[in-house]
């Protein structure tokens, strides 16, 4: 059916040349291969975000007097509106989750080593941007929880010495969280962040395509000892079809979650009511939130918050530059980085759970 | 078993798998596309305007002038003639839907978009409008000028 069309295109733009790199590309095949899927699943969920986001834009209206009502309208009046919004919200959370899984798998399989430092760096920046998506999108329904989460989140940004205050005013569009903040966050969420993320994803994927998949050092050593054990599969169609199956499973999980547990809308934000008891940020900010909560209000002569914010920023910077601390040669740095990775995973999970349970 | 019959069961199995796989994928696609198509259709706007609306107050308008009022979700045109009688019509031009206005100088209803004119009975007299404007009933209730849809005889 499509053969004549493909021939017609091929005659003009030489499709074969375009597909050729994918035909030659192979993916290493070993017992840890399934960890390769999580980056792809994250990409798939991002595509879902773009598509459902465009649909929501058809009815959503930014503005303190309209945002909550328009989301309410989407959920109650527009056919399948509840489902589209629920998919958008669930997919956002799953995307952040799979991005974390992808990051830690890359860390433990040591895929960030030379020559893939830039892939790691773009990946960490992408994670920060995705969390920015989460933070800005959370405010858009203009409900009480979102209002206070934004108030606290931007207040934390304001704790950074010297640049903190101007940064907070830039984020809020004024001294306080108001309709002006909503307008800004809407702009970040639907224009600024998507643009940046698409460019970074393009670089990230280009690097992955260019350099191929990393083989974990353990498997590499086994293969070096026994070259007959080395196995590969073609990227197209073998790996591609497996990836499609992974996407299909992700779709199933997403659809089930969105339909069985529709996302709540909550109560419309009112700047002149008290924050509700037990208010917490989204789960992916909990580990940072809990860290800030546990630092005493005054450490020596420094404010606790300032110390926490600076500490978190420094940790983030070191995390971004992690591959550059690892050398080619067997050294103590390798052990050190593995130890740090395990510590980071335990810390993030532990603090998140603690933050979830604690009052 | 004949040699040329051997591939037979193989291809039928393959076809069955293709059928299940293709059918499954098509069914999934349909289940994704159907909600999206329904989502794209905007919900009908409830017309709370009803059949009657207060268009003006007595003494609010000058003689030989017109006023646009809200009739449900559409605009209406209320005209106070020089002799003190009121007249109400739909203000939506029958040509391409612009909102018409009363021209005191011509004593006509005029559409600025494509220079269409109607007389005070709503009849399209010149320019592109293909049909007359709908005429509404006007009553006076206390000091309110009430416009209502003409009852079908």
Nearest to B41 among A79, A84, A248 (CB): A79
Q: Report A:246-265 residues touching B (Cβ under 8 A).
A: 248, 251
CA distance A32 to chain B (A): 28
- State whether B20 and B88 are in the same domain: no
Lowest mean pLDDT among A79-93, A292-306, B21-35, B109-123: A292-306
Whether the CA torsion B26, B31, B32, B38 is positive or negative: it is: positive
- A:B CB pairs within 8 Å: 26
Q: What is residue A33's predicted lDDT score, i.e. its pLDDT?
A: 86
Backbone angles phi, psi at A207, to 5 degrees: -65, -40
Q: What is residue B152's predicted lDDT score, i.e. its pLDDT?
A: 61
Nearest to A83 among B35, B41, B43 (CB): B35
Q: Report B:32-71 residues touching A (Cβ under 8 A).
A: 35-36, 38-43
- State whether B34 and B82 are in the same domain: no
Q: Is the pLDDT of residue B1 over 50?
A: no
- Chain B residue closest in CA terms to A75: B39
Cβ separation B43–A83 shorter than 8 A: no
Rounded CA-CA distance B4/B112 in Å is 82
Say if B90 falls within a structural domain. Answer: yes
Q: What is residue A329's predicted lDDT score, i.e. its pLDDT?
A: 67
- How far, CA to CA in Å, does B109 sit from each of A288, B31, B105, B112, B133? 68, 52, 10, 10, 10
Q: What is residue A358's predicted lDDT score, i.e. its pLDDT?
A: 80
- How far, CA to CA in Å, does A155 sit from each of A160, A164, A166, B75, B148? 10, 9, 11, 48, 56
Q: What is residue A172's predicted lDDT score, i.e. its pLDDT?
A: 95
Is the Cβ of A54 closer than 8 Å to some Cβ of chain B? no
Percent with pLDDT over 90 in chain B: 65
Say if B127 falls within a structural domain. Answer: yes
Cβ separation B39–A79 shorter than 8 A: yes
Check residues B119 and A297 and name the one with the higher pLDDT: B119
Cβ separation A79–B36 shorter than 8 A: no
Q: Is the pLDDT of residue B2 over 80?
A: no
Is the Cβ of B1 closer than 8 Å to some Cβ of chain A? no
- State whether B61 and B113 are in the same domain: yes
Contact A338, A326 (CB under 8 A): no
Q: Which two tokens stand for residue A254?
A: 């997403």
Q: Is the pLDDT of residue B124 over 50?
A: yes
Q: Is the pLDDT of residue B8 over 80?
A: no
From A258, A277, A284, select the one nearest A144 (Cα to Cα).
A277
- State whether B105 and B130 are in the same domain: yes
Close Cβ partners of B91 (under 8 Å, ≥ 6 residues apart): B68, B74, B75, B76, B77, B99, B100, B101, B133
Nearest to B35 among A77, A80, A251 (CB): A80
- State whether B70 and B137 are in the same domain: yes
- State whether B86 and B135 are in the same domain: yes
Q: Kindly list the residues from chain A whose CB atom is less than 8 angstroms away from the CB atom of residue B35.
A: 79-80, 83-84
Say if B1 falls within a structural domain. Answer: no
- State whether B70 and B122 are in the same domain: yes
- State whether B57 and B14 are in the same domain: no
CA distance B40 to chain A (A): 8
Say if B57 falls within a structural domain. Answer: yes
Q: Which two tokens stand for residue B114?
A: 């494509």
Is the Cβ of A58 closer than 8 Å to some Cβ of chain B? yes
- State whether B16 and B69 are in the same domain: no
Say if B2 falls within a structural domain. Answer: no
- State whether B59 and B85 are in the same domain: yes
Q: Kindly list the residues from chain A whose CB atom is less than 8 angstroms away from the CB atom of residue B40.
A: 55, 58
Cβ separation B35–A79 shorter than 8 A: yes
Say if B153 falls within a structural domain. Answer: no
Is the Cβ of A80 closer than 8 Å to some Cβ of chain B? yes
Complex-level ipTM beyond the 0.95 threshold: no
B31: containing domain: 7-40
From A76, A86, A98, select the one nearest A55 (Cα to Cα).
A86
Structural domains of chain A, ranges and CATH numbers in brackets? 31-223+235-275 (1.20.810.10)
Q: Is the pLDDT of residue B153 over 70?
A: no
Radius of gyration of chain A (CA): 23
Cβ separation A78–B35 shorter than 8 A: no
Cβ separation A81–B41 shorter than 8 A: no
B-interface mutation test, from A1, A80, A88, most B Cβ less than 10 A away: A80
Q: Which two tokens stand for residue A313?
A: 């920023």
Is the Cβ of B151 closer than 8 Å to some Cβ of chain A? no
Is the Cβ of A353 closer than 8 Å to some Cβ of chain B? no
Say if B47 falls within a structural domain. Answer: no
Percent with pLDDT over 70 in chain B: 89
Nearest to A80 among B28, B38, B42 (CB): B38
Q: Is the pLDDT of residue B89 over 90?
A: yes
Q: Which two tokens stand for residue A127?
A: 């994670």
Is the Cβ of A79 closer than 8 Å to some Cβ of chain B? yes
- The 3-class secondary structure across A186-213, one letter per residue, is HHHHHHHHHHHHHHHHHHHHHHHHHHCC
Rounded CA-CA distance A222/A30 in Å is 11
Query: CATH no. for residue B105?
Result: 2.102.10.10
Rounded CA-CA distance A250/A45 in Å is 8
Quote the number of domains for chain B. 2
Say if B45 falls within a structural domain. Answer: no
List the beta strands (DSSP E) in B58-150.
65-71, 74-80, 86-90, 101-103, 108-111, 116-118, 124-126, 135-141, 144-148
Cβ separation B43–A77 shorter than 8 A: yes
Is the Cβ of A99 closer than 8 Å to some Cβ of chain B? no
Q: What is the mean pLDDT of each run of 10 residues along chain A (359 residues)?
A: 87 85 84 90 97 97 94 95 97 97 94 92 97 96 93 89 92 93 96 97 94 88 89 88 93 95 92 84 90 83 85 92 79 76 94 87
- State whether B19 and B60 are in the same domain: no
- State whether B30 and B68 are in the same domain: no
Mean pLDDT of chain B: 87
């Amino acid at each position: 059916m499509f053969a004549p069309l493909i021939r017609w295109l091929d005659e003009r733009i030489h499709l074969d040349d375009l597909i050729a790199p994918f035909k030659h590309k192979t993916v290493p095949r070993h017992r840890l291969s399934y960890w390769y899927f999580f980056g792809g699943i994250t990409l798939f969920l991002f595509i879902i975000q773009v598509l459902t986001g465009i649909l929501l834009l058809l009815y959503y209206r930014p503005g303190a007097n309209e945002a909550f009502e328009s989301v309410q309208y989407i959920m109650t009046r527009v056919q399948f509106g509840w489902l589209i919004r629920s998919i958008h919200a669930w997919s956002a959370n799953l995307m952040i989750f799979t991005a974390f899984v992808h990051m830690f798998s890359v860390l433990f399989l040591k895929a960030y080593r030379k020559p893939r430092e830039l892939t790691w760096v773009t990946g960490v920046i992408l994670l920060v941007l995705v969390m920015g998506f989460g933070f800005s999108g959370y405010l858009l329904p203009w409900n009480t929880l979102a209002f206070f989460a934004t108030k606290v989140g931007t207040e934390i940004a304001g704790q950074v010495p010297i640049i903190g205050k101007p940064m907070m005013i830039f984020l809020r569009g004024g001294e306080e969280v108001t309709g002006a903040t909503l307008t800004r966050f809407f702009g970040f969420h639907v224009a600024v962040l998507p643009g940046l993320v698409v460019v970074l994803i393009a670089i990230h994927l280009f690097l992955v395509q260019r350099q191929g998949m990393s083989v974990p050092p353990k498997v590499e050593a086994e293969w070096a000892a026994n070259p007959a054990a080395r196995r590969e599969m073609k990227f197209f169609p073998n790996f591609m079809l497996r990836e499609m199956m992974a996407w299909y499973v992700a779709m199933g999980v997403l659809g089930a979650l969105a339909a069985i547990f529709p996302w709540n809308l909550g109560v419309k934000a009112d700047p002149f009511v008290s924050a509700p008891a037990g208010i917490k940020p989204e789960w992916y900010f909990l580990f940072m939130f809990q860290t800030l909560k546990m630092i005493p209000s005054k450490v020596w002569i420094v404010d606790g918050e300032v110390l926490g914010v600076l500490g978190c920023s420094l940790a983030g910077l070191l995390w971004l530059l992690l591959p550059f601390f690892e050398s080619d040669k067997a050294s103590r740095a390798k052990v050190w980085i593995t130890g740090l990775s395990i510590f980071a995973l335990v810390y993030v999970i532990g603090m998140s759970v603690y933050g979830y349970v604690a009052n | 078993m004949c040699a040329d019959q051997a591939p037979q069961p193989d291809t039928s199995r393959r076809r069955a798998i293709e059928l299940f796989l293709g059918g499954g994928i098509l069914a999934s696609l349909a289940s994704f596309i159907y909600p999206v198509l329904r989502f794209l259709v905007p919900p009908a706007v409830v017309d709370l305007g009803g059949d009657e609306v207060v268009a003006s107050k007595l003494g609010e308008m000058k003689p030989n002038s017109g006023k646009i009022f809200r009739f449900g979700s559409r605009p209406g045109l209320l005209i106070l003639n020089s002799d003190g009688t009121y007249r109400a019509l739909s203000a939506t031009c029958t040509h391409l839907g612009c909102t018409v206005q009363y021209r005191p100088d011509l004593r006509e209803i005029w559409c600025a978009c494509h220079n269409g004119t109607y007389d005070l009975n709503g009849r399209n007299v010149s320019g592109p409008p293909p049909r007359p404007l709908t005429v509404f009933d006007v009553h006076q209730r206390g000091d309110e000028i009430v416009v209502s849809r003409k009852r079908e005889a």
